Amino acid sequence: MSNLRSSEWFSGDDEVALSHRVVMASIGHEIDVNNSKPIIGIADSSSDLNPCNLPLRSFIPEIERGIIEAGGIPVVFPVMSLGEDLMKPSAMLYRNMLSMEVEEYLRSYPIDGVVLLANCDKSVPGSLMGAISADLPTVMFTAGARPVAEFRGKPIGTGTDLWRMWSDYRAKKISEEQWKEFEGCLNCGLGSCNTMGTASSVAMMVEALGLTLPGTSVIPENDPARSVAAFNSGREIVKMVNSELTPSKLLTPAAFRNAMRVLHACGGSTNAIIHLLAISGRVEGGLTLGAINELGKGLSVIADVEPSGAKLIQDFNKAGGLPALIANCGEIFELDEQTLIGKSWREIVKGITPTNNTIRTLQDPIYPSGAFAVVAGTLAPSGAVIKVSAASKELLSHTGPAVVFHGYADMRNRIDDPELNITKDSVLVLRDCGPVGVPGMPEWGMIPVPKRLIEAGVTDMVRISDARMSGTSFGTCVLHVAPESVVGGPLGLVQDGDLIKLDVASGTLDLLVDASEIESRKANWQAPISEHLRGWPALYQAHVMQADLGCDLDFLRPKSKTERKFVPPVVGRS
Ligand code: FES
């Protein structure tokens, strides 16, 4: 019997092992009692409903070829496809469901290692969380960004330019005809968003963790190098199985610190912070929300990519991708951390320099500090996140009266109401949109600036919510306020006209209301009545943790370092 996990299923001369071998024969793989060929799962999340993940399908033959050439046996299995745009209320509601699906696939089938095929935002952390809880050798393969569209001769960044155009359209700065023409330009093919949105951010974050082939996470979908990466991913997973290189050996606390530094330096998505906290929580990686400010020290945003910068992910890839970014940050990174290819980052980045100025130096950055700040105070006792690199500098220290919206529908109904008592100095507050609230914490945090103010030339305001925002969004948006309003967080106690003070430099976010008044509001507070939920949303709502803990389900986290996270099945007659 070989050391392979799958040999539990296939070795032996009884009727159970025989029937398992027969199943493999019936799908085209001859397995004998002494099989030493690793069975490699390919977790395919492609779907016609998800244009970001759809191209993953076309890379499967190359991945299989790599697996076979390296001596493995590929088996493809489907997993849930989390598409950001069409799934409601939010793909985030299903991230943990995907993680459970992947973990249970790996637990229940004779699989020795897995290649995860994911691309759109939540598919990447969702599938990775499942695989690392299973702790089988894992390679993440993403499909890359979609081609660049053009509008009137100018390249369009997915998401970011849509939000800009929507703002212009509401302010009547562009005509209805232009708006329609813009829609016609947006369809530019398959793949993920081509800005430094969540998809690109999480793809690089996983590469930094050592679980994607170095240098491949942001190769665009239509670049021939993507097929080469697919083949090499297949080859590498077999080597990982043979050398028993499991995720727990790569996911050290230093690897998580490096991944967070990457997010700071690339101007990554705020969503990626939630995912990184969740991944860390699965393996006792030690990352906390409180450590994020510290991990930005000495760093600057050096990736000149939308929404913090001006270019697109294609330019970033041409400049050298993640290895070039790490090379330009030097020893701020813990370069001795290992990657799945058995090389450290120090070995990988040696001699690399960016080939164009989309990747700047720390001395000539596009933003002079790390991309994010965590703030906390009486309005966010467990913290909140702001992407300072995409915010307005003059609003990072601001005090203003609150204008409160009780949920998304209320905000959409009233934001453009001419009677709304609001000025450019008001602070927009959106509550009841957190992980438990909707449930699923949709990307509603970039509350639109009221039409009347846009027409008067206002482009940004301080906005505060327990929601998330798209990685392609921008503005002075304080997000992920924890605890959220529907579980009793102070955000639910704010009333119109209350003064709110944001001070990023001191890391504070406070509600300037007397403590006695807050106590009396608390005493009268009632949780909003939730719609009757059933099935997955009900389970999610009962167990989801707050944003500062990554919005994982409480029962999916190991309770202690020594707890065995993954219980293998008893292999016998089914
Ligand atoms: Fe899927 Fe952006 S919507 S990657």
Which pLDDT value is given to residue 310?
93
Q: Please give the pLDDT value at position 530.
A: 72
CB of 191 shorter than 6 A to ligand 1: no
Per-residue pLDDT tens over the stretch 214-225: 999 999 999 999
Confidence at residue 564, expressed as pLDDT on a 0 to 100 scale: 57
Asked whether the predicted pLDDT for residue 194 surpasses 70, the reply is: yes
Would you state the pLDDT for residue 188? 86
What pLDDT band is residue 1 in, cutting at 50, 70 and 90?
A: low
pLDDT of residue 561: 64
Q: How confident is the model at residue 362 (pLDDT cuts 50, 70, 90)?
A: very high
Beta-strand relationship, 499-503 and 397-406: antiparallel
313 lines ligand 1 (CB under 6 A): no
Q: Ligand 1 mean position to 160 CA, how many Å? A: 12
The CATH architecture that domain 372-524 belongs to is 3-Layer(bba) Sandwich (3.50)
Whether pLDDT at 533 is above 90? no
Q: What is the predicted pLDDT for the residue at 171?
A: 84
Nearest CA-CA partner of 74 in 124, 37, 129, 23 = 37
Residue 560, pLDDT > 80, answer no
Say yes or no: CB of residue 207 within 6 Å of ligand 1. Answer: no
pLDDT at 565 over 70: no
Using 50, 70 and 90 to split pLDDT, how confident is the model at 529?
A: confident
Domain boundaries, the chain: 37-147+190-349, 150-186, 372-524
> Which atom of ligand 1 has the smallest separation from the CA of 84?
3
**Distance from residue 112's CA to the centre of ligand 1 (Å):** 30
Nearest CA to ligand 1 atom 2: 193
What is the pLDDT at residue 572?
A: 84
The rounded distance, in Å, linking the Cα atoms of 87 and 203 is 20
Choose one of 46, 142, 188, 193 to mutate for the ligand 1 pocket test, by most ligand atoms within 8 angstroms of C-beta. 193
Q: SS3 sequence, 256-310?
A: HHHHHHHHHHHCCCHHHHHHHHHHHHHCCCCCCHHHHHHHCCCCCECECECCCCC
Check whether domain 37-147+190-349 has CATH 3.20.20.70, yes or no: no
pLDDT band at 492 (very low <50, low <70, confident <90, very high): very high
Which of 428, 499, 472 lies closest to 186, judged by CA? 472
C-alpha to C-alpha distances, 339 to 208, 209, 211, 354, nearest whole angstrom = 8, 7, 7, 21
Q: What is the mean pLDDT of the segment spanning 366-385? A: 97
Ligand 1 centroid–CA 197 distance in Å is 8
Contact by Cβ (8 Å): 482, 380:
yes
The token duo for 222 is 């239509």
CA distance 525 to 527: 7
Q: Does the CB atom of residue 121 touch ligand 1 within 6 A? A: yes
Residues 6+ apart with CB under 8 A from 377: 508, 509, 510, 511
Amino acid at 216: T
CB 328 within 8 A of CB 359: yes
Q: Quick one: average pLDDT of 502-527?
A: 96
Q: What is the pLDDT of residues 465-477, one digit of tens each?
A: 999 999 888 999 9
The whole-angstrom separation of Cα 121 and Cα 201 is 9
- How confident is the model at residue 193, as a pLDDT? 94
For ligand 1, say whether the CB of 84 is within 6 Å of any of its atoms: yes
Size (the chain), residues: 574
User: How far are the Cα atoms of 84, 138, 438, 465, 555 from residue 443, in angstroms, in the given order?
Assistant: 10, 29, 11, 10, 25
Ligand 1 and 192: CB distance under 6 A: yes
* 297 pLDDT tier (thresholds 50, 70, 90): very high
Alpha-carbon distance values, 77 to 43, 109, 115, 116 (Å):
5, 11, 11, 10
Q: What is the DSSP letter of 157?
A: -
Find the 182 Cα to ligand 1 centroid distance in Å: 18
pLDDT bucket at 186, cuts 50 / 70 / 90:
confident
- Please work out whether the CB of residue 120 comes within 6 Å of at least one atom of ligand 1: yes
Average of per-residue pLDDT values in the chain: 95
Residue 534 predicted with pLDDT over 60: yes
Residue found by looking up tokens 């450019």 in the block: 424
Residue 363: other Cβ atoms inside 10 A? 8
Give residue 562's pLDDT.
64
The closest of 325, 362, 365 to 345, measured between CA atoms, is 325
Mean pLDDT of 69-82: 98
- Decide whether any atom of ligand 1 lies within 6 Å of the 51 Cβ: no
160 CB under 6 A from ligand 1? no
443 close to ligand 1 (CB < 6 Angstrom): no
- Supply the angle between the helices 198-209 and 270-282 in degrees, to the nearest 10: 40
Name residues whose C-beta falls within 8 Å of residue 565's C-beta, 6 or more positions apart in sequence: 133, 135, 282, 558
- Average pLDDT of the residues in 426-450: 96
Q: Determine if ligand 1 sits within 6 Å of the CB of residue 193.
A: yes
Same fold, 37-147+190-349 and 372-524: no
Whether ligand 1 lies within 6 angstroms of the CB of 199 is answered as: yes
pLDDT tens per residue across span 319-346: 999 999 999 999 999 999 999 999 999 9
